[in-house]
Structure 1
Amino acid sequence: MDPADPRPLTLGTAGHVDHGKTTLVRALTGTDTDRLPEEKQRGLSIDLGYALLELPSGRRLSLVDVPGHQRFVRTMVAGATGIDLFLITVAADDGVMPQTREHARVLAGLGIERGVAAITKADAAEPTRALAETAALMPGIDIVPVSARTGLGLGDLLAALDRVASGLPATCSAGEEARLHVDRSFTINGAGTVVTGTLWSGQVARGDNVALLPQGVSCRVRAVHLHGQEVQTAAAGQRVALNLVGVSRNDVSRGDVVASPATDMKDTRCLAAELEPGVEIESGDRVQVHHGTRESAARVRRLPTGGWQLRLERPLLAAAGDRLVVRRIAPPETLGGGVITDTEPEARGDARREERPQPAAPPPRPEPLSPRALELEQSLRQAGAEPPLDSELAHMQDELAALREAGRAVRVGPRLHFHADALASIEAQLTGHLAEHPSITLAELRDQLHTSRKFAQALLEHFNGAGLTRRLGDEHVLRRRHTERTAEKA
């Protein structure tokens, strides 16, 4: 793939059962994504469906259609993993329903902010109430009344999706490791084992050597398929099918990962994570954790650092910077999302530093930083608002971890670390601007920091996730709680 080409994108559906997701997908793409006999018989999506959507600009999106029934939320989360933008449906005759809200929480938890809402069945019911409820649930997104039966609004919907897609980062990096979370596996006579999923990062090409995890099996990619056509290479953001040599169908299941042989992903039973504001859990709670296309029950504990330890009952394949979703087990409900900060907290002692106050003892002194860590710290400090990508620092992961533990480096998104002082300075600039202006756009922050769109976007997503700001359409505003605290200090 030419680095100048628009990066491939995957669109995911969302919405309450019977709100017309699959029917709308068929009207837009000509593909019936209900492929199982039981789905045909019941008229109900049970598993993930896939299609190719062509936009008015000629751009093509991979499309993942997810089930809407409450019993299949876990399947919905697996399908939403790795998507770039969403199409959420709300029926004109029903309005916003429980699974509409839960799917919206899943999308927010996975950090998927850009998308379009379709008010379906607009030929059969007045859409005014559904429009108002959807705007209140997901402020700032385009909302288009449509009818899959008559074709009403389908052109407007495609145009809205085109606008959102064109507003996403325009290029992808070929230097990152390849990583695919498997959501299907099957055998083709004469070809062997095939796995499918959305390529999270990097590229994969015919003839590449890859690792199947957690098995640790080395495989070779015999063929790469995109929407039924064989290609030489696939890139991050595409729905891909890989024909693998060296592994049998019985050795692969949903939740496994195909990755570059040198991957740093860990098969772990203990994670540290920062959860988004408003996730209602307490130390000792047992919750369900969804990551990639796998899930596990977990016991959570608050850490002195302010994050959370998640002790998993089933190992997950994860890397620092990945998103996860936390759900209540009974009654089942999505609580919110977060970002994994460490896949080996026990090795660094976090699991033993739980919430057991010991006022008589001084806090442990951090280990002295190595010369290499100090050199890296100076590089991050000098880089300011344009630090190197984590992929460029793959040989210094231990030093990065040491800087994080010392409070001198802060992870921003899945691929960046900023020096703590640089991030504090950027935050001060941002809050200073928002004290004098009602909002800030990505372009305005980019220009203020004299940096590129890539870094400005990562920073805004970080501040949104940290609860400092929130997004309203293409603008970002201070959250009310922060505004109130600022006023109190004044």
Structure 2
Amino acid sequence: MHVVATAGHVDHGKSTLVQALTGMQPDRWAEERRRGLTIDLGFAWTTLPTGPTVAFVDVPGHERFVPNMLAGVGPVPAALFVVAADEGWMPQSAEHLAALHALDVRHAVLAVTRCDLADPEPAGRAAQAELAGTSLGGDVETVAVAAPAEHGLDRLTGALDRMLARLPAADPDAPVRLWVDRSFTVTGSGTVVTGTLAAGRIRVGDELELPGRRRSTGVRAVQSLGHPVTEADAVARVAVNLRGVEAGELRRGDAVRTPGRFRPSELVDVRVHGDPAGTLPGTIMLHVGSAGVPVRVRPLGTDTARLRLDHSLPLRVGDRGLLRDPGAHHVSGGVTVLDVSPPPMTRRGAAAARADVLAGLDGRPDERSELRRRGLIRRADLERMGVPVTSAPLTGDWLVDDTLWAEVRARLPAVVDEWRAGHPLEPGPPVDVVRQALGLPDRALVHALVEPPLTMNDGRVVRASDAADLPPHMTDALEQLRADLREHPFVAPDHARLTALGLGPAELAAAERAGALVRVAPGVVLLPENIAEAAAELALLPQPFTVARARTALATTRRVAVPLLEHLDQAGLTRRLPDDRRQVP
């Protein structure tokens, strides 16, 4: 299916032409038919003689209803532009054309109606001249028609057919973002929303994310062109029946979308196509899809600005919208979204620096460019911005710019050495210390960063060569301690002796990490070789044995014997029996 907006004329000529093409009356309200004036969006469709199905979104032309017109034109890729032979180019024609140009619509057919009432040639030439300077270009096919007499309709359907053949194919595998242009309730079925599906595919049973809230809803049913279908592929006019959505919960301008694939944004940086950014009003209306949102404008460069939206919209890099000043009835120009997650500008000169960055962006989402500017980002976050990702994450879901990664890796040894200099009793800084020092958002990135001669050890980043290094004063103290224990292997030094040697809790912990001591209990330390010696001595006792017999055999005190036996139990060198005696396996 193809979807075309009919625009350009204020009177009933557009609707009459659509009715003649489709056999359907696009004006839905009795007041529209009575006044001969399109007020709201109308919809009709037909199958062209050559086979393609085309749906028309008939938009109002009167200046009072321009927001409705923009809601219909926003998601549509092509236009049937209508002028009347007896009236020619009108102010509303200019505003409709300005909107199509701002939205970068590139495909159109020009229909000059009422050719039975006036020569269509002058109106056609004037319209062509206006269209030539816009995104529609100078080769828009023109057809003169007289709808009531069906004069020229065959030529018009042929022109539409040729235009539709030039439209780029939509991506049916893209995530869904359905901009709602109508929302209503059906008794017994609940809420139904309609819109132009510009990309993706909607199936019965799909889950769609609702705007402004972290919940999804199921698709109960889908209709396309008035017929129930199990799925609809873009581009298509669709009506979607949603489960569990209350009446009035959705309205025109909302978007239902594939869960987790879009990033609602209230702050975006854009390129402005039209009036210079510095001349824009401080507050203006941004129209994207079927939405119209007040925004506050902060000019950055000649043609770039930051927009703060009144409420968030699910925008992506490369989205096209337009700015309109409703008070002046003026389309200020189009905008291309450059960044949906821009950095804060809090420092002096930040705005000028940001303008320089934006000057090099073209609105085409590019993974390398985004990584170069952001340094690192989660893959899912980048995809939600509309950036296709082809490279594999470095670790977890993290994508990292190669240049940044090389710089961070080069800084890591200095971070480790500096921390060790201030903490000589520690083997290396904890992972979180390194993460904060390098400005990394995730511990997993530290693990991915470490490479020889650095290594991970017990949650710390250490140099393998430094793992057993101890300060000189500790080396001397430990040598004296070893001398004591070699003479009396199981007489652990008491607190007074440890204090005299300058071995407090931190020093003992460092010595244990270095493998110089074994702490069998707080304040109770032995040499590593003493453990095996104790097991050998106990093996000579009649089995099983009591704590008292073990204490006597080891020539030590209960202060040492009890925790030493528990340590031997844990090491599997002794086994504790239910009666609290032990045996050597």
| CA distance in 1 between partners of 2:401 and 2:10 (Å) | 44
Looking at structure 2, the residues matched to 304 and 402 of structure 1 have their Cα atoms a distance apart, in angstroms, of 29
Partner residue in 1 for 2:149: 150
Residue type of the alignment partner of 1:182: V
Change in 2 beyond 3 A, CA 1:304/1:84:
closer
Query: What is aligned with 1:218?
Result: 216
Change beyond 3 A, Cα 1:353–1:244:
farther
Does 1:52 pair with 2:45? Answer: yes
Correspondence 1:176 to 2:153 = no
Percent identical: 38
Q: In the alignment, residue 325 of structure 1 is paired with which amino acid?
A: L
Unaligned runs of 5+ residues in structure 1 are 1-7, 364-371, 378-387, 404-490
CA contact (8 A) 1:279 1:336 kept: no
Paired residue type of 1:148: A
Structure 2: runs of 5+ lacking an equivalent: 132-137, 358-366, 373-382, 404-585
State which of 16, 39, 43 in structure 2 corresponds to 1:23.
Answer: 16
Cα distance, 1:136 vs structure 2: 0.2
Which whole-Å CA distance do the structure 1 matches of 2:369 and 2:211 have between them?
Answer: 34
User: Is residue 336 of structure 1 aligned with residue 328 of structure 2?
Assistant: no
1:330 Cα deviation from its structure 2 partner: 2.1
Q: Deviations over 1:348-391 (max 9, x none)?
A: 12576778669xxx99xxxxxxxx969977xxxxxxxxxx9944
More strand by share: 1
* Equivalent pair of 1:182/1:253 in contact (CA under 8 Å): yes
Q: Relative contact order (C-alpha < 8 Å, sep 6+): which is higher?
A: 1
Alpha-carbon distance, 1:128 to partner: 2.0
**Who is 2:291 aligned against?**
294
Deviations 1:108-127 (A, max 9, x none): 11111111010000001111
The corresponding residue for 1:120 is 113
CA distance in 2, matches of 1:149, 1:293: 32
The residue number in structure 1 matching 2:435 is none
User: For structure 1, which segment, 38-47 or 283-292, has the greater mean C-alpha deviation from structure 2 after superposition?
Assistant: 283-292
Q: What amino acid sits opposite 2:299 in the alignment?
A: R
CA RMSD of aligned residues (A): 3.0
User: Equivalent residue of 1:214, what SS?
Assistant: coil
Question: How far apart are residue 250 of structure 1 and its match?
Answer: 2.3
Provide the residue aligned with 2:206 in structure 1.
208
**1:280 to 1:375, Cα distance in 2 relative to 1, 3 A:** closer
Helix, strand or coil at the partner of 1:40: helix
Q: Which amino acid aligns with 1:201?
A: A
CA contact (8 A) 1:214 1:257 kept: no
Matches within 5 A, 1:360-439: 390-393=387-390
Letter in 1 for 2:99: V
Match of 1:310 in 2: 307
User: Is the 1:272–1:342 Cα contact (8 Å) retained in structure 2?
Assistant: yes
Residues 12, 65 of structure 1: 8 Å contact kept: yes
Q: CA deviation at 1:19?
A: 6.0
Whether contact under 8 Å (1:234, 1:240) holds in the other structure is: yes
3-state SS in 2 of match to 1:341: strand
Judged with a 3 Å threshold, the aligned counterparts in structure 2 of structure 1 residues 71 and 106 are, in CA distance, closer, same or farther, namely same
- Cα distance, 1:284 vs. partner? 5.6
**In structure 2, what is the equivalent of residue 91 of structure 1?**
84
Q: Which deviations, in whole Å up to 9, do the C-alpha atoms of 1:184-231 show, x marking residues without a partner?
A: 111111211111001122111011111111233311111110011011
After TM superposition, the structure 1 stretch with the greater mean CA deviation from structure 2, 81-90 or 207-216, is 207-216
Q: Give the 3 Å change call, closer, same or farther, for CA 40–19 of structure 1 in structure 2.
A: closer
Compute the TM-score of the two structures, normalised by the length of structure 2. Answer: 0.59
Q: Are residue 349 (structure 1) and residue 344 (structure 2) matched?
A: yes
Is the partner of 1:249 in helix, strand or coil? coil
> SS state of the match for residue 149, structure 1?
helix
Map of 2:28 onto structure 1:
35
Equivalent residue for 1:271?
Answer: 268
The C-alpha deviation readout for 1:124-173, integer Å capped at 9, x for no partner, is 1111210110110112201111000111111111100100101122x332
Deviations 1:291-321 (A, max 9, x none): 1211122222222595211122343332221
1:438 — aligned with what?
none
State the distance in 2 between where 1:375 and 1:97 align: 44
Q: Which structure's CA Rg is the greater one? A: 2
Measured in 2, the distance between the counterparts of 1:128 and 1:276 equals 32
Cα distance in 1 between the residues matched to 2:190 and 2:334: 37
Cα distance in 2 between the residues matched to 1:10 and 1:198: 8
Q: Give the number of the structure whose residues are more often helix, by fraction.
A: 2
Give the whole-Å Cα distance in 2 for the aligned partners of 1:60 and 1:206: 22
**In the superposition, relative to structure 1, how do residues 201 and 401 fare at CA in structure 2: closer, same or farther (>3 Å)?**
farther
- Corresponding residue for residue 134 of structure 1: 127
* 2:161 aligned residue: 162
Deviations 1:440-481 (A, max 9, x none): xxxxxxxxxxxxxxxxxxxxxxxxxxxxxxxxxxxxxxxxxx
Q: Give the C-alpha shift of residue 341 in structure 1.
A: 1.3
CA distance in 2, matches of 1:156, 1:214: 46
Report the residue type matching 1:253 in the other structure: R
Q: Is the 8 A contact 2:319 2:336 kept in 1?
A: yes
State the alpha-carbon separation in 1 of the partners of residues 270 and 400 from structure 2: 17
Structure 1 CA distance for aligned equivalents of residues 106 and 300 of structure 2:
28
Q: In the alignment, is the contact (CA less than 8 A) between 2:276 and 2:303 conserved in 1?
A: no
